[in-house]
Every structure is written in structure tokens, then in C-alpha cells.
């Protein structure tokens, strides 16, 4: 396998030699994954752009790892010269969601960061355009955080269109026909949650 991906493995070697704590590995043809400590991200991205020819920030996304109390930032870089995609991942604290901007490397990062500020509540120092983006007058916790209850929010803020009151509960309809009486202690185990 090593012989097949000379370019990829060479890049991985270079990364490991420069950033000793980086976890870099081949994912598949033309694709490598790099995991890094968050404080090494600005120097690493600068190095990747200027020395490894990863000219292009193709995508930038965020994952809410609520169980680990962390956010994961994922930078997807592309090198035209090498024809390699580098997926660069790092984790930051979820409680104190702060990171540094990379807009000086790629202008489009500014807009991604603006989105994460609004959707996840992450503050990017150095980015002075963290203003309202696509949500208008948002007054709840950032909606892409996994602890945001979409259904609850929808019920509190929007009215239900009339005309749906005749909806039936399947389990209730069947118990009514058969005469089955579900004891109270079992009701919470009804998948369909009897009222």
C-alpha cells in the first residue's frame, strides 16, 4: 500500500517531521487526515499553505462533541500541485468556545467563522465581522449546538396550523379496540408515548 501512495505518504512524513505531536495518516488515495493540538493550528495552516502548497481552503466545518464537552473544527485544504486533500482536525473547549481566526490565510474563512459564531457560539479572536449572519433576532442558545431542542423551540415560537386536531395515537386506537389496559408503570415504555 505504501508504494501506491508515494505523494501522500511523503506529505505525511513531512508533516510529522515538522510537527512532532501531529497525528497524520492516510485515509485513502489523495486524502490525508491530520489531527493537531488547537494551539498548533495557526502555525500548521500557515506551514501547509506556504510550504506544502495547500493553497486552497475548500471547506471549514464544526462538530459538536457534547459528550466530550468539546467542539471539533475541521479545515479541509486542497493542494492543486499535489492533488491531495488534507483534512485538518482540532478540538477546542465547548464551555469557553474561543479560537483564533485564520482569515489572514484565506479570506473565505471569515464567513465560515461568522457562521460558526452564530450557529455554535464560537468566538474567533481577530475576526471583527462576527455580526448577525442568517438568523434574525436570535434569542436562544446557538441552534446548531446539540443541546438545542428544535422541536421545543418550534412549539414555543410558532403556532400550530389548525386542522390537525383529529390526529390519533395508533397504540391508543388498538388498545381501545382490544380492551387492553396498559399499567401506568409500563406507559413510559410505549414507543408511541401514550398521553
Partner 1 sequence: MAINLKGIVSPYNALKQIGRKPHTVQYPFQKKEAAQRYRGFHYNDLEECIGCGTCATICQNEAIDMIFIDGFETTSGDSGLRPRVDNGRCCWCALCVDSCPTGSLSLTKDYLHVSDDPDTFLLVPGLDNPEGKENLSWISNGNSLLDYQRIPMPELEGKERVKSFAEVVLGYSEDQARAEAARCVGCGICTDNCPVHMHIPEYINAIARGDDEMAVKIIYDNNPLGETCGKVCTRRCEEICAVSKRGEPIAIRWLKRYATEKAKNKDILKEIVNPTILPPNGHSVGIIGAGPGGLTVGYYLALRGFDVTIYEAKDHAGGMIMYGIPKYRLPIDSIDKQIEYMKSIGVKILFNTKVGKDISFNELKQKHEAIYIGIGFEVPYKLGIKGEDAEGSIQAINFLRAINSEKHVEIGDKVVVVGGGNVAIDAARVSRRLGAEVTILYRRRVEDMPADWEEIEGAEEEGVIIHPQAIPLEIITDENNKVKAIKYANAEMIPDPKGGRPRPKIIEGDEHIIEVTSVIAAIGQEADYSFLPQEVLESIEIKRGRIVVNEYQQTKLPWLFAGGDIANRRADAISAIADGYRAVKGIEMLLLNKEIKNGGRLN
Site residues, partner 1 (CB under 8 A) = 151, 161-164, 166-171, 173-180, 182-183, 185-187, 189-192
**Minimum separation from the CB atom of position 49 to partner 1 (A):** 37
Q: Which is nearer to partner 1, 67 or 183 (CB)?
A: 183
CA dihedral 101, 102, 108, 114 (to 10 degrees): -10
**Minimum separation from the CB atom of position 101 to partner 1 (A):** 33
Dist. CA 50–CA 5, nearest whole Å: 22
Q: Which is nearer to partner 1, 20 or 181 (CB)?
A: 181
Q: Which is nearer to partner 1, 95 or 180 (CB)?
A: 180
**End-to-end alpha carbon distance in the chain:** 58
Q: Which is nearer to partner 1, 6 or 179 (CB)?
A: 179
Question: With 0-12 CB in 10 A as exposed, 13-18 as middle and 19+ as buried, what is 122?
Answer: buried
**Minimum separation from the CB atom of position 24 to partner 1 (A):** 35
Q: Which is nearer to partner 1, 135 or 174 (CB)?
A: 174
**Minimum separation from the CB atom of position 60 to partner 1 (A):** 25
Dist. CA 174–CA 140, nearest whole Å: 40
SS (H, E, C) 89-117: EEEEECCCCEEECCCCCCCCHHHHHHHHH
**Minimum separation from the CB atom of position 186 to partner 1 (A):** 4
Amino acid at each position: 500500500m505504501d508504494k501506491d501512495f508515494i505523494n501522500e505518504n511523503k506529505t505525511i512524513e513531512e508533516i510529522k517531521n515538522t510537527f512532532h505531536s501531529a497525528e497524520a495518516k492516510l485515509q485513502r488515495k489523495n486524502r490525508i487526515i491530520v489531527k493537531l493540538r488547537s494551539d498548533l493550528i495557526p502555525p500548521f495552516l500557515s506551514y501547509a499553505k506556504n510550504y506544502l502548497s495547500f493553497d486552497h481552503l475548500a471547506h471549514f466545518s464544526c462538530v459538536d462533541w457534547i459528550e466530550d464537552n468539546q467542539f471539533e473544527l475541521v479545515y479541509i485544504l486542497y493542494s492543486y500541485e499535489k492533488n491531495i486533500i488534507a483534512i485538518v482536525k482540532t478540538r477546542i473547549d465547548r464551555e469557553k468556545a474561543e479560537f483564533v481566526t485564520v482569515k489572514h490565510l484565506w479570506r473565505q474563512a471569515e464567513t465560515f467563522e461568522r457562521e460558526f459564531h452564530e450557529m455554535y457560539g464560537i468566538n474567533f479572536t481577530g475576526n471583527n465581522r462576527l455580526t448577525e449572519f442568517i438568523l434574525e433576532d436570535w434569542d436562544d442558545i446557538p441552534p446548531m449546538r446539540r443541546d438545542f431542542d428544535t422541536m421545543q423551540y418550534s412549539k414555543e415560537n410558532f403556532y400550530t396550523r389548525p386542522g390537525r386536531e383529529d390526529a390519533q395515537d395508533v397504540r391508543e386506537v388498538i388498545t381501545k379496540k382490544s380492551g387492553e389496559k396498559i399499567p401506568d408503570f409500563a406507559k413510559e415504555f410505549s414507543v408511541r408515548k401514550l398521553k
